[in-house]
Chain A
């Protein structure tokens, strides 16, 4: 099967969110010819989940409180991480979050100031000992994406839009590039290069009710698994406590304002106090579990949610909220989100688990690096607000520098993979006979999301996980093949959705296997059949890897 070989770059970054952009900037600065591959447009405001990140970047700048520093920040991260974190990665996050933030400011990324020309404004969010949240309206992520994209392109980083990565090419035990579908031309491309950086984001899209933009479906994790890389902590998926569940076309819209109002059950009762909790004070995992328990107890709304009510919210706060861009968006669509009670429920938001990396953002395969949400380790059992954006910058930089260094030190001679290997990878996806299974494959992806919502959500147990395992296995039995790229089906994102089927199945199975393995409750992983932390699980991680013989994910426990 035909494919174009593109060997113009030393470092290929897959994904154009905050982590990918930061990795590309670092790699370029270290002297490597660097390209970013992105599924969507080459647009400064369409940069993965980073674009949609609402509020904050955590940095212990100690502006609002001089007692803050990286050590206190690390303590906070470890406290909610509940011993699951990789201490080395968490320490890097705590130590470098501030300098990466100030660097972005020097590149023209704007943040809210206390007064014009003054210091950065920092607010205190749940789980943080001191005010650390640096923000720009409720569109901090979009502002970061805009500034980082502009900076990267101005420097000379090459953005290659409309590329969907199909598989990593690993031969002789090292990375040799990536096989890509060019969506704009409907053709296959083989990017060969010194190093590859995976920055494809998390896996929240494998749940039906999720708060992410389209495309965040664990594709990078699936590619890594197929290449023999290990994933860690995949049982830890953060569910944002409050996303709209109605009307249907707004399902999954993040509603972060809940912390300024009150959550009410169907009887109008402010129920969180019954669980000893408070909307504004408690962290996401415990809020999500309490809300789901209330719904499961039959006190939820008709759409399986709870209400957000602002009648007791002070008028000044409401006035401030009314200015918010998302509130205005909902108003444009005809809603009155501050006056009427909106229905919310926890929805898949952020994947704490992911690719196992070391302190240099290296995977176990030489030449393959990973950064951002696609990785596991730095957050542990739960993630604090604002730490996702900080993670993108801290680990984007580390991955970019080290990938460039690897590429600079390893000559590209003999870098091209064998044609047999590439042919095998292509045959794993496309069929010369040109079968047409696109709509059936898309249906399967939708079914997987429903299976995950039903069985592997905030509250799980052995029975629900086994049921998910059974249904996923049944669904995976069917074999699919797709038309080989012919140059005619350009911009066919339906085909991309279909091509994601095998990734979605593999990542979903990995989440289920990891959740089955950890027979205790900790942080965001709540098993109602074993609802407490077990001591024997302290400082233990579930690691998942594809068994080469069966092609199925298998797990083992690693203790630090």
Chain B
């Protein structure tokens, strides 16, 4: 079913910059995963949004680990339908405890030589 969803997506230009939220209003099939919805934003609305490149397509690699409305989970495993709060908002922030390199791309701490 097509639904309206307001995505509040965490943005940070580089590892030393401050963070902010950017809003994107989407009307999408609510059965797609939050991760697919983020890629829709990236491909159709805002090419500057940095997302992790890798995806295993089976829910095991952890590439899309992020906080969705405050709860840490794999964005590929939760459909928009379930993530939508009553207010119609999906707030996406990077996972806890990892250094943020850009937007939703995070490093692994001790060995992210870039």
Contacts and interface: CB of A to CB of B under 8 A. Distances in A.
A142 B54 CA distance: 13
A85 B29 CA distance: 46
Given A249-B32, A334-B79, A51 B61 contact: yes
A185 B114 contact: yes
B113 interface: yes
- Listed residue (A39, A43, A51, A325) with the most chain B CB atoms within 10 angstroms of its CB: A43
> Interface residue tally of chain A, by bracket?
35 or more
Contact of A490 (B32, B36, B102): B102
A316 interface: no
Contacts of A325: 58-60
Given A139-B60, A214-B55, A215-B54, A42 B31 contact: no
A3 interface: no
Nearest to B56: A52
Contact of A42 (B52, B77, B112): B112
A40 B54 contact: yes
Contacts of B102: 490-491
A482 to B, nearest CB: 14
B11 to A, nearest CB: 12
A494 B47 contact: yes
A253 B54 contact: no
B67 interface: no
Interface in B34-79: 36, 42, 47, 50-63, 76-79
Given A161-B112, A249-B32, A51 B56 contact: yes
Contacts of B57: 52, 211, 213, 252-254
Secondary structure at chain A's binding surface: helix, strand, loop or mixed? loop
B62 A43 contact: yes
B60 A215 contact: no
B61 A142 contact: yes
A42 B105 CA distance: 12
A184 B81 CA distance: 33
A182 interface: yes
A249 B33 contact: yes
Contacts of A211: 57
Nearest to A139: B60
A512 to B, nearest CB: 27
Interface stretch (A100-108, A152-160, A368-376): A152-160
B101 interface: yes
Given A161-B112, A214-B53, A46 B32 contact: no
Contacts of A139: 60
B38 to A, nearest CB: 12
A435 to B, nearest CB: 16
A185 B52 CA distance: 15
Contacts of A254: 57-58
A484 to B, nearest CB: 18
Interface string B10-46: 0000100000000000000101110010000010000
Interface in A11-70: 39-43, 45-46, 51-52, 54
Interface string A160-180: 111000000000000000000
A332 interface: yes
B76 to A, nearest CB: 8
Interface in B78-96: 78-79, 81
Contact of A247 (B31, B76, B77, B107): B31
Nearest to A54: B58
Given A184-B101, A253-B57, A333 B33 contact: yes
B2 interface: no
A40 B79 CA distance: 25
A41 B108 contact: yes
B51 A493 contact: yes
A214 B52 CA distance: 11
Nearest to A251: B57
Contacts of B47: 438-439, 492, 494
> Looking at A41, A211, A439, which has the most chain B CB atoms within 10 Å of its CB?
A41
19 contacts: A40-B53, A41-B63, A43-B62, A45-B61, A46-B61, A52-B56, A153-B111, A159-B111, A160-B113, A211-B57, A213-B54, A249-B33, A249-B36, A325-B59, A329-B76, A332-B59, A333-B31, A490-B14, A496-B53
Q: Which 9 A-B pairs have the closest CB atoms?
A: A329-B59, A491-B50, A184-B114, A46-B54, A40-B54, A332-B77, A491-B102, A52-B56, A249-B32
Interface of A: 39-43, 45-46, 51-52, 54, 139, 142, 153, 158-162, 182, 184-185, 211, 213-215, 247, 249, 252-254, 325-326, 328-329, 332-334, 438-439, 490-494, 496
Interface of B: 14, 29, 31-33, 36, 42, 47, 50-63, 76-79, 81, 101-103, 105, 107-108, 111-114
